[in-house]
A and B are shown apart, each in its own frame.
Chain A
């Protein structure tokens, strides 16, 4: 006999909300069946909780008090979403020369988007689910996301829209996919993207998850499946500024073909709860993955970055760098699992997670895991957690730089290592702009009696 835990308020609400909106969710009958199966799977699993190893530090069952109703289409007249308001929300990305695809509250807005570039196929998820392009709801790599089945099931059940992109050649300008929260009522927005890069093709895809100033705090569940063919290159960037009080569960599932290069960068700030999960599989030999991520946390913000990198092919190289700057009672988690399969000889994997603690009440939890089954590999990991170096700080103060500016310089120096991994100068600039917006506040948040 199986003992089932009592459903929490949020879990019950999710099942109820599904029933309420099912009829309005896009897709063919087949998709509908897949959604029902997914919500059924979720009902059995429930929200992840601390006894599940991958969710040890981010117990969603206790963190989610309630589930917001899904935002389906434009079912509430919240007023015009102006292009100007979106520019403000995008911060530094607003001026980036890029192709733009805009989703407001989980629905595509062609009027706010620019045409997709030549030699790039773009379909909205909504259209694909309804039958265009022969899409199936079958998730490419669901089985490669252990302990995340509940979150993926919720994504399948509620997904309303997203970007399906196939890039077949070398894209000169980046593709900026904007997911903006605008509604003045709290809503759950569920999106799914699929990005495939053809053999030898190259692109930069930026996901901006932002919120308008007047938007109510929301919940979001976003999933991006990425497939890199042989010798394909993708720079995949994510800026998450979901909003005070907002939560985001983001899952990226990436498959690297032979000699593919996947460079990922994530900057998370101004978000109450963020879970960034990345599952990457080296499916072909000599592929490279470079992941760097930066979290700027204050108040009681909570960020959890969980990676599983599976070297299933030989001679792969993976590099992971995480930087967390934590003020007040902010909490940052980094879980980095690297699996090296038996045949993945000559794997080279390095991981580093660092936290800069700006208060006594901040917390950094770091859990590296190496599961190595091959015998000719070079794998290592490191973790540090430190306060601002007092000697460096004194040097700057002694030169007349006031304490908040001096701390800001040192915090910039700390996160620079992650941000400067971005190859594109305009993208790097945009990320610095969003980071610098927050740094002075972080630098000021030191306790009064500290220097």
Chain B
């Protein structure tokens, strides 16, 4: 269970408050959508959950399975099963995708006290997941994300999710820049990972993705706070009415 309690966050460099009391609870086995206009703080929330620098928490708590997340370094959060699928995955020249994936997986397995995979075991797993996502093997040999199209980068994030098997997946605008077919491939990949032990947080502007990744709850975020929560119908309502009622005042 992910519990976010009255979270206030300031952007360190500009000393500007971005999150003004976010409260959210995502139980295991559920998928929650966070929708909202630009500037609402959705990506900030994702970054703060992942532990990125540049943000100062001025109030509030974040707990994952009862543990204080904000006290953990990013690599510790990953070891505890947290995963952020980035909106803009960074390119890392000179680091082969396979090398990166293997290093990440083995680090997480080690932390969990599990055995590292042998090369054949690892390759088998990666190939299987890559095939389901339509990722060609030669892309895996290339440096991470370098020269990848937007769609390829997003599918690569989902491939990492499939291989690392996190228990909390936060997806930051995974559908942005994707065409209809790509959205389906990505959504299918995410849906394959849905189970009773996994919590999903899907951050998106658009209702379209939620046709495929059907949420259990929908939260509307604006001006740094969750303003409204509802079922999946709320997403459809937003599609019709837009965010106007949340952005005034």
Partner-B contacts on A (CB < 8 A): 389-392, 394-403, 405-406, 409-410, 412-414, 416-417, 451
Contact = CB atoms under 8 A, between A and B. Distances in A.
B107 A402 contact: yes
Nearest to B80: A400
A417 B94 CA distance: 7
Q: Closest 6 CB pairs between A and B?
A: A413-B94, A400-B78, A397-B74, A399-B104, A416-B94, A400-B108
Contact of A400 (B52, B89, B92, B107): B107
B78 A399 contact: yes
A392 B90 CA distance: 6
Contacts of A410: 92, 95
A409 B106 CA distance: 14
Nearest to A411: B94
A293 to B, nearest CB: 17
B111 A399 contact: no
B94 A401 contact: no
Interface string B86-116: 1001101111000110011001100100000
B90 A395 contact: yes
Contacts of B86: 395
Given A409-B103, A451-B53, A399 B94 contact: no
A400 B53 contact: no
A449 to B, nearest CB: 13
23 contacts: A389-B90, A390-B53, A392-B90, A394-B52, A395-B89, A395-B90, A396-B92, A398-B75, A398-B78, A398-B84, A399-B83, A400-B75, A400-B79, A400-B108, A401-B75, A401-B107, A405-B107, A409-B92, A409-B99, A409-B103, A413-B92, A413-B143, A416-B94
Interface of B: 50-53, 73-75, 77-79, 83-84, 86, 89-90, 92-95, 99-100, 103-104, 107-108, 111, 143, 160, 164
Given A409-B100, A414-B94, A402 B52 contact: no
Nearest to B144: A395
Contacts of A396: 92, 100, 104
Contacts of B103: 401, 405, 409
A399 B160 contact: yes
B100 A398 contact: no
Contacts, number: 75
Contact of A398 (B51, B94, B99): B51
Given A397-B75, A398-B51, A400-B107, 10 more contacts: A389-B90, A394-B50, A397-B51, A397-B78, A398-B74, A398-B77, A399-B83, A409-B103, A412-B95, A451-B53
Contacts of A399: 78, 83, 100, 104, 107, 160, 164
A397 B100 contact: no
A25 to B, nearest CB: 47
A186 to B, nearest CB: 39
Given A405-B103, A409-B100, A397 B73 contact: yes
A292 B235 CA distance: 57
Contacts of A401: 75, 103-104, 107
B107 A392 contact: no
Contacts of B89: 395
A413 B53 CA distance: 23
Contacts of B50: 394, 398
B54 to A, nearest CB: 9
A416 B95 CA distance: 9
B92 A392 contact: yes
B79 A412 contact: no
B111 A400 contact: yes
B73 to A, nearest CB: 7
Nearest to A409: B95
**Residue among A391, A400, A402 with max Cβ neighbours from chain B (10 Å):** A400
A396 B107 CA distance: 11
A403 B75 contact: yes
A413 B111 CA distance: 25
A405 B52 CA distance: 18
A128 B108 CA distance: 61
A413 B52 CA distance: 22
A396 B143 CA distance: 14
Nearest to A412: B94
A389 B91 CA distance: 11
A333 to B, nearest CB: 24
Contacts of B143: 413
Nearest to B51: A398
B104 A400 contact: yes
Contacts of A389: 90
Nearest to B78: A400
Contacts of B164: 399-400
Contacts of B108: 400
A417 B50 CA distance: 31
B197 to A, nearest CB: 18
Nearest to B143: A413
**Residue among B79, B84, B100, B164 with max Cβ neighbours from chain A (10 Å):** B100
Nearest to B166: A400
Contacts of A414: 94
Nearest to B99: A409
Nearest to A395: B90
Contacts of B78: 397-400
A413 B94 CA distance: 4
A400 B164 CA distance: 10
A398 B52 CA distance: 8
A279 B113 CA distance: 55
B43 to A, nearest CB: 14
Given A398-B51, A399-B104, A405-B107, A413 B73 contact: no
A399 B76 CA distance: 9
Nearest to B112: A400
A406 B144 CA distance: 14
Nearest to A413: B94
A410 B93 CA distance: 9
A397 to B, nearest CB: 4
A401 B160 CA distance: 13
Nearest to B89: A395
A323 to B, nearest CB: 11
**Residue among B53, B84, B90 with max Cβ neighbours from chain A (10 Å):** B90
